[in-house]
C-alpha cells in the first residue's frame, strides 16, 4: 500500500496546514489500529465509520474506514516535518 | 445524498431553469441593445421582470453582473470617496467587508461596524449610534447567511435617509425567499445573487439602483451601441454593463423568478414550517447549540448549529461522509459574526430550499442525534 | 438561417459543450478550493488544461473571470499608476480602449495609440517609435476583430521587454483559432474570451499572468478559504478570484478546449481555406470593397467588406432579412480602426467558425452578388 | 392598420435616432407605394423584397415587404418632430 497523492487543502483560516492523503487502497481496520497506536483514537461506529486520531502537538488524522483517503491536519509549528514523520510512520507499517 | 447547502448554491434547480437554459444555448445568440429585428427579449424582458419582482422604480436601473460580489465591489468603488464614513454590520459577508477594508486602506474611507446579538440580530439603535455628519452609506445584509436572522432593514433605511446617506441592502441570502419591495423598503441599492433562492445558475448577480444613486461605472468596454464614444455611454443600464453578458445566467434567473411567481408562495410557506420544526428538534438534542431564535423574528431557512464537543469541520465531514448529508462548516465567509455567537471556529450550517423534504430534515436530526449519542 | 457572426459569439457550440454544461447543472454544486472529499475537479482541472492549451507557466496563474472585458479592466486598473505610459493600437476593441481612456482621465496615465495599415496591420516599428522611459505597458490585439489581420506579437513583446514594460495580448479574437504559446510569444498578460473560437458560453473570460506580473486585485470578496483574512488572500489564483464563479461557463470552456484538442487541427485548416476562397470571391465582385489581405500574412477568419453604394447597416439588414444570413455591421466595438480602412461608418463583417460550410460561404457570395446586381 | 409599438433602437453612433415601428399587420405593396410617394424609393426585388424610402432631410424608412415592422432613421435635428410627421402621414393613408 502506498500514498499516491498528497494534496494541500484549505479551511476557513489563514495558516492552516491541511493535506488530503490518497492511498492506492482503502484504510482497513488493521491499518487504522496501527494509526491509533500513534496517538488517541476517536471511533464512531456508524454504517460508514468515522475515525479521528490525535497525535498530540503534531497532527490529527480524519477519515472514513475503508476509504482510500484521509485528511491530516498538521500543527502550525513545523507542519512539514510532521507530515514527513507521518509518511515514515506509514511506511513502517508496511 | 441529501443536499442542505442551499445558502451557498441552491440545488436542484427547477426543471424550467434547465429547459430554458438549454433552449437558450441552442438558440441563435442575441445581441443585446441592438436592432430588434431578431429580438429574443434578452436581456430587457428579464430586466422588466426583475424590476417587477423586487419593485424597482425602473427596469433600466436593474443591472446584470457576474455575481453579488461584483455588484458590491462595483457600487462601493463607484460611490465612495476619501473621508466618507460607512456603517456596516458584524453580520456581513466578505463580499462586502473585504472591498470596504481595501477602500479603507487605499482610499481612506472611514468604516464602522455595528455589533449583533448572539443570534445575529443587529439592533437599529446600534446603527443609529454610529451615524456621523460624514456618513455616506449604511450597508447591511437583509438576512444573515450564518443565522438566517432577518434584519429590520426599513429602520436602517430610515436612519440612512435621516442622515443624508444611502442605504445598501445585500439581499443575497433572502432574495427569492423573503419578500422584498425595493422602493417601500427604502433601499437605494439592492444587491443579490441569482444562484441561491432565485434558482439561477452560478455566475449571475444583480444590483438595482434608486434614481438618485449614481455610482461611477466600475468597468467599461464594448457596449454594442454608441461605440464611437471614448468612454462608457452615460445612460442606464449600459453605463454599468460592459462586455459580453452571461446570457445563460440571465435566462436562468428569469426561469427561476417565473417558477417562484407560479409556485413560490406555497412552497416558501412549507419551507419555513419545515425549518422551524427542524430548528426546534435540533435545539432539543442535548449537547447541541443552535444559533437561531426560531420562535421570535423572521428567519431565512438557515440552521446553524454546533455539536458541543466537536469542531464544526469534523461534524461537517461526518455528516457528509458517514451520513450522506451535505452541509457546510466554518465561517461561511462571514468572519465577524462568530465572535458574537461565541463560536470562534465557526458553525455547521444546514440550509434548506423549497425542494427539501421532511425526510431530509429527519435524516439530519437523526444523524446529529446519532453523532451526539456516539460521543457519550 | 446562416450564422456568420462567430466573431461576436460562436454558434452552434459543439455537442460536448451542451452535454457537459447540462451534466454540470444537474450535478451537485461544487465548492472551489475547499476539501477535496467530494471534488469534481472544478475549476482546478480546467485551470491545468488552460495552462496546457496556451502554455502558461503555471496553472495558478490562469484566472477565470466573467469576460475578457472584465479581465482587461482588472489588469489595467491593477497595474497602472499615475504617470505610467501605455502604448496601444488603433485596432483595439472598446474593452481595452475605454478603460484606458477612463484611466487617462481619472489616474493620469499617458496613452499613445499606434496607427495601422488599411488592412489593419500594426507595424512593430510604429510601436517602437512611441516607446518612452516611462512606458510600462504595451497592450495589443493578437488579431483585429474587424479585419482579422494577425499581428507580429512577438515583435511587440520584444519591444516591451527591451523597454522594461509588460506586454499584454488581447487574444479574444484568436484564442482557439490561432496557436498561442504564452511563454514563447513573450506575453506577460494573455487575455481572452471563452465564447468565441473556444466555443464556451457567454459569460466566461480568462486572463493569464507571467510570474512577475502582479497587478493589484481588482475585486475582493468571499473566497471560501482563509475567510478570516480582512482582505483578499495574497496567493494565486484566489487573489484575483472573488465570489461565486460561472462554473457552467468554466465547464463549457473545458469542453470547448477538449473539442479543439481532438478535432481542431483539421477543422481549422478547412476553415482557413474556406475563408481565403470566400475572401477572394468577395474581392472579385465589382462594387465591393474587402478589408483584408487574404494573400499575405496570417488571418483570423473575419471577412469585413462594404458594398460601395450602401451603408453597412443597410447591407447587414438586407443580408439578414432578405437572405437569412446573419452578419454584423458597424464599428464592431473597435472605433479607431475605421479611419485607417477609409470606412468611417463601419463595415459588414462575416465571421466564420469551423461549423460553417462551403454552402454557407456560397450563399453569402450569392447574396452580395444579388445585392450589387440590384443596385445597377 | 395601426402602429402597436414604437421602440428606440441603437446603432454604433452616439446621437443616432432610430426607432423600430411595429404595425398590427404587414406593410403591403399599396402601403409601400404610399410611403414611396413621400420621398424616393429604393426597391430590391429579392424573394423577400427590401425597401428603403428616403424623405430627404427628415427620415429614412427601411424594411421588408409584407413584414409588420420597419425601421425609421430620423434626421438628427428635430428627430421627434419628424417621427410625429411620419405618424401623421401614416394615419392619413388609412
pLDDT at C39: 55
**What are the residues facing C306 on neighbouring strands?**
C289
The angle subtended at Cα C243 by Cα B118 and Cα C63, nearest 5°, is 150
Residue reference for cell 426597391: D43
Candidates D44, D51, D68, partner chain C, best to mutate (most C CBs within 10 A): D44
- Give the nearest partner residue to C318 out of D13, D44, D67, using CB atoms: D44
Residue B292: what pLDDT?
A: 86
pLDDT of residue C293: 77
Is the N-terminal amide bond of C43 cis, ω within 30° of 0?
yes
The per-residue pLDDT for range A58-83, each reduced to its tens digit, is 999 999 999 999 999 999 999 999 99
Chosen for mutation from D5, D7, D8, D9 (greatest number of chain B CBs closer than 10 Å) is D9
Beta partners for C326?
A: C3
* Contact A64/B at CB under 8 A: yes
The set of cell numbers assigned to C206 is: 480568462
Set of chain A residues whose Cβ sits within 8 Å of the Cβ of C32:
none
Q: What residue of C is the nearest CA neighbor of A5?
A: C36
Cis peptide before B46 (omega within 30 of 0): no
CB contact under 8 A, C37 and A13: no
Any CB–CB contact under 8 A between D36 and chain C?
no
**Buried residues in B305-316 as b, exposed as e (16+ CB within 10 A):** bbbeebbbbbbb
Which of helix, strand or coil describes residue C69?
helix
C66 touches chain A (CB under 8 A): no
Partner residue opposite B243 with nearest CB, options C13, C22, C70: C70
D12 Cβ under 8 Å from any chain B Cβ: yes
Report how far apart, in Å, the C-alpha atoms of D79 and of each of A24, A47, D17, D73 are: 76, 77, 7, 9
Taking the C-alpha atoms of residue A67 and residue C2, their distance in angstroms, rounded to an integer, is: 53
CA distance A93 to chain C (A): 25
What is the reported pTM? 0.97
| Strands annotated E in chain D | 3-9, 17-23, 40-44, 50-55, 59-64, 69-74
Does A14 contact B at CB distance below 8 Å?
no
User: Is pLDDT at D26 greater than 80 in this prediction?
Assistant: yes
Provide the shortest C-alpha distance from residue B226 to chain D (in Å).
4
Flag whether pLDDT at B33 surpasses 80: no
Q: How many angstroms away from the CA of C228 is the closest CA of chain A?
A: 6
Cell numbers placing C132 = 518612452
Q: Å from A33 to nearest chain C CA?
A: 23
CA dihedral C290, C291, C294, C295 (to 10 degrees): 100
Chains A and B touch (3+ CB pairs under 8 A): yes
Residue ranges and CATH numbers for the domains of chain B are 2-8+264-374 (3.90.1150.10), 15-257 (3.40.640.10)
Q: For a pLDDT cut of 70, what percent of chain B falls above it?
A: 96
Backbone phi, then psi, for C4, in 5-degree steps?
A: -125, 45
Q: Are B63 and B207 in contact (CB under 8 A)?
A: yes
- Contact map slice: C 5-44 vs A, CB within 8 A: 33-37
Question: Quick check: C376 contacting D, CB < 8 Å?
Answer: no
pLDDT of residue C298: 79
Q: Which of C240, C313, C260 is nearest to C64 (CA)?
A: C240
Please give the pLDDT value at position B215.
Answer: 98
Mean pLDDT along residues D15-27: 96
Neighbouring residues of D84: CB distance < 8 A, sequence distance ≥ 6 = none
ipTM of the complex: 0.96
Task: Say yes or no for a CB contact (<8 Å) between D46 and C322.
Answer: yes
- Closest residue, chain A, to C224 (C-alpha): A12
For C:175-234, CB contacts with A below 8 A are 224-229, 233
The C-alpha torsion from B143 through B94 and C25 to B30, rounded to 10°, is 100
Q: In this predicted structure, what is the pLDDT of residue B25?
A: 95
pLDDT at B36 over 70: no
> Which stretches of chain C score pLDDT less than 50?
33, 35-38
C-beta atoms of B226 and D10 within 8 A? yes
Count Cβ–Cβ pairs < 8 Å, chain A vs chain B. 32
* Of A12, A44, A67, Cβ closest to residue B318: A44
Size of interface B-C (CB pairs under 8 A): 244
SS (H, E, C) C207-223: EEECCCCCCCCCCCCCC
Asked if C129 has any chain A CB less than 8 Å from its own CB, the reply is no
Do B341 and A73 meet the contact criterion of CB atoms below 8 Å apart?
no
Q: What is the pLDDT of residue C376?
A: 73
Q: Which residues of B touch A11 (CB under 8 A)?
A: 313, 330
pLDDT score recorded for residue B298 = 79
Give the pLDDT of residue B229.
97
Note the pLDDT tens digit of each residue in A27-44: 999 999 999 999 999 999
- Inspect the structure and tell me whether chains D and A have 3 or more CB pairs less than 8 Å apart: no
- The pLDDT, as a whole number, for residue B125 is 98
Note whether B313 contacts A: Cβ–Cβ < 8 A.
Answer: yes
The answer to whether residue B297 scores a pLDDT higher than 80 is no
Measured between beta carbons, the chain C residues lying within 8 angstroms of B65 are: 66
Q: How far apart are CA C216 and CA B273, in angstroms?
A: 47
Q: Which residues of B touch C323 (CB under 8 A)?
A: none
Tell me the per-residue pLDDT of D43-94, one tens digit each, with 9 for 90 and over.
Answer: 999 999 999 999 999 999 999 999 999 999 999 999 999 999 999 999 999 7
Chain D residues near residue C330 by CB distance under 8 angstroms: 11-12
Judged by DSSP in three states, A51 sits in strand
Question: What's the length of chain A?
Answer: 94
Partner-chain contact C317 D12, CB within 8 Å: no
State mean pLDDT over B286-313.
Answer: 89
Give dist(CA C346, CA C343) in Å, integer.
5
Minimum distance, in Å, between the CA of residue B155 and any CA atom of chain A = 33
Cβ within 8 Å, pair D14-B36: no
Residues on chain B touching A10 (C-beta within 8 angstroms): none
Amino acid at each position: 500500500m502506498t500514498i499516491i497523492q498528497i494534496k494541500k487543502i484549505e479551511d476557513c483560516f489563514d495558516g492552516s496546514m491541511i493535506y488530503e492523503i490518497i492511498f492506492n487502497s482503502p484504510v482497513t481496520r488493521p491499518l487504522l489500529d496501527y494509526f491509533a497506536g500513534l496517538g488517541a483514537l476517536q471511533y464512531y461506529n456508524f454504517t460508514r465509520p468515522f475515525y479521528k486520531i490525535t497525535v498530540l502537538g503534531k497532527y490529527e488524522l480524519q477519515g472514513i474506514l475503508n476509504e482510500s483517503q484521509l485528511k491530516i491536519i498538521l500543527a502550525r509549528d513545523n507542519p512539514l516535518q510532521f507530515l514527513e514523520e507521518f509518511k515514515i510512520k506509514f511506511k513502517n507499517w508496511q | 445524498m441529501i443536499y442542505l447547502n442551499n445558502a451557498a448554491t441552491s440545488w436542484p434547480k427547477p426543471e424550467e431553469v434547465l429547459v430554458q437554459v438549454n433552449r437558450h444555448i441552442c438558440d441563435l445568440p442575441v445581441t443585446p441593445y441592438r436592432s430588434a429585428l431578431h429580438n429574443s427579449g434578452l436581456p430587457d424582458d428579464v430586466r422588466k421582470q426583475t424590476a417587477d419582482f423586487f419593485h424597482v422604480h425602473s427596469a433600466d436601473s436593474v443591472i446584470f453582473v457576474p455575481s453579488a460580489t461584483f455588484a458590491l465591489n462595483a457600487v462601493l468603488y463607484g460611490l465612495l470617496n476619501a473621508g466618507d464614513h460607512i456603517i456596516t454590520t458584524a453580520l456581513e459577508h466578505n463580499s462586502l467587508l473585504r472591498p470596504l477594508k481595501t477602500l479603507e486602506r487605499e482610499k481612506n474611507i472611514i468604516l464602522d461596524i455595528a455589533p449583533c446579538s448572539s443570534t445575529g440580530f443587529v439592533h437599529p439603535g446600534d446603527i443609529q449610534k454610529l451615524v456621523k455628519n460624514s456618513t455616506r452609506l449604511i450597508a447591511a445584509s437583509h438576512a444573515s447567511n450564518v443565522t438566517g436572522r432577518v434584519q429590520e432593514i426599513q429602520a436602517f433605511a430610515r436612519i440612512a435617509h435621516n442622515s443624508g446617506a444611502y442605504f445598501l441592502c445585500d439581499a443575497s441570502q433572502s432574495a427569492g425567499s423573503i419578500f422584498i419591495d425595493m422602493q417601500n423598503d427604502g433601499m437605494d441599492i439592492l444587491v443579490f445573487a441569482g444562484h441561491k433562492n432565485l434558482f439561477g445558475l452560478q455566475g449571475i448577480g444583480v444590483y438595482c439602483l434608486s434614481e438618485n444613486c449614481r455610482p461611477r461605472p466600475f468597468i467599461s468596454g464594448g457596449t454594442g451601441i454608441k461605440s464611437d464614444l471614448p468612454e462608457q455611454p452615460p445612460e442606464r443600464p449600459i453605463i454599468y454593463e460592459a462586455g459580453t453578458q452571461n446570457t445563460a445566467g440571465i435566462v436562468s434567473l428569469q426561469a427561476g423568478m417565473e417558477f417562484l411567481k407560479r409556485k413560490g408562495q406555497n412552497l416558501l410557506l412549507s419551507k419555513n414550517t419545515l425549518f422551524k420544526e427542524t430548528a426546534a428538534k435540533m435545539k432539543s438534542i442535548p449537547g447541541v447549540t443552535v444559533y437561531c431564535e426560531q420562535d421570535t423574528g423572521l428567519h431565512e431557512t438557515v440552521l446553524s448549529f454546533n455539536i458541543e464537543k466537536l469542531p464544526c469541520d469534523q461534524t461537517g465531514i461526518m455528516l457528509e461522509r458517514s451520513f450522506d448529508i451535505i452541509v457546510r462548516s466554518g465561517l461561511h465567509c462571514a468572519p465577524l459574526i462568530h465572535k458574537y455567537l461565541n463560536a470562534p471556529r465557526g458553525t455547521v450550517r444546514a440550509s434548506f430550499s423549497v425542494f427539501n423534504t421532511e425526510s431530509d430534515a429527519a435524516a439530519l436530526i437523526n444523524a446529529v442525534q446519532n453523532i451526539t449519542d456516539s460521543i457519550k
